[in-house]
Structure 1
Amino acid sequence: MSRRWRTALAGIRVLGKAGFILLVTLFVLLVAGTLAGARFNLTRSLPVGLYWAVEQPIERKAYVRFCPPREGAFALAMERGYLSDWGGECPHGFPLIKRVAAIAGDSVEASDANVRVNGDPLPLSRFHDTDGQGRPMPRPRRDRKQLRASELWVMSDTNDRSFDSRYFGPIDRAWVKEVITPVLTWGPGGMLSGRAPHSS
Structure 2
Amino acid sequence: MSVIVSNSKSGLGRFGNAIRFSICSLLTFFCLLFIFWLLVSYWGISYTYTGSLPSGIYVRSEGGITRGALVSFDPNKDDKLKAFLDEFAIRGSKYIWMKKVVGMPGDRIDISSDHVIQVNGQKLCNAKVFRIKPKRDVGEFHLVQYPFTVPSDEYYVLGTNQYSLDSRYFGTVSKRMILEVNEPLLTW
| TM-score, shorter chain, exceeding 0.5 | yes
What SS does the corresponding residue of 2:125 show, helix, strand or coil? coil
What SS does the corresponding residue of 2:65 show, helix, strand or coil? coil
AA in 1 matched with 2:98: I
AA in 2 matched with 1:41: T
Shift of 1:71: 3.1
Q: Which runs of 4+ in 1 moved over 6 A?
A: 132-137
TM-score, normalised to structure 2, is 0.82
Match in the other structure for 2:39: 33
What SS does the corresponding residue of 1:98 show, helix, strand or coil? strand
What SS does the corresponding residue of 1:124 show, helix, strand or coil? strand
Match in the other structure for 1:190: none
Match in the other structure for 1:54: 61
Match in the other structure for 2:50: 43
Q: Is the 8 A contact 1:140 1:166 kept in 2?
A: no
Match in the other structure for 1:154: 157
155 and 16 in structure 1: CA distance in 2 versus 1, 3 angstrom threshold: same
Q: Which moved more, 1:101-110 or 1:50-59?
A: 101-110
Structure 1 unpaired stretches of 5+? 86-92, 187-200
Shift of 1:124: 1.7
AA in 1 matched with 2:85: A
The CA distance in 2 between the partners of 1:113 and 1:127, in whole Å, is: 6
- 1:29-57 deviations in whole A, cap 9, x for unaligned? 01111122111112111011110112211
> Are residue 65 (structure 1) and residue 72 (structure 2) matched?
yes
Structure 2 unpaired stretches of 5+? 1-7
- 1:96-121 deviations in whole A, cap 9, x for unaligned? 11110111122211356110012111
AA in 1 matched with 2:74: C
Shift of 1:137: 8.2
AA in 1 matched with 2:157: V
> Are residue 140 (structure 1) and residue 140 (structure 2) matched?
no
AA in 1 matched with 2:86: M
The CA distance in 2 between the partners of 1:78 and 1:141, in whole Å, is: 17
Shift of 1:72: 3.1
TM-score, normalised to structure 1, is 0.77
Q: Larger radius of gyration, structure 1 or 2? A: 2
Match in the other structure for 1:195: none
117 and 95 in structure 1: CA distance in 2 versus 1, 3 angstrom threshold: same
The CA distance in 1 between the partners of 2:22 and 2:50, in whole Å, is: 32
Shift of 1:161: 1.6
After TM superposition, the structure 1 = structure 2 runs for residues 1-200 of structure 1, keeping only pairs within 5 Å, are 6-35=12-41, 36-68=43-75, 69=77, 71-85=79-93, 93-110=94-111, 113-131=115-133, 138-157=141-160, 159-186=161-188
Q: Is the 8 A contact 1:131 1:137 kept in 2?
A: no
The CA distance in 2 between the partners of 1:182 and 1:7, in whole Å, is: 49
The CA distance in 2 between the partners of 1:54 and 1:62, in whole Å, is: 9
The CA distance in 1 between the partners of 2:179 and 2:78, in whole Å, is: 16
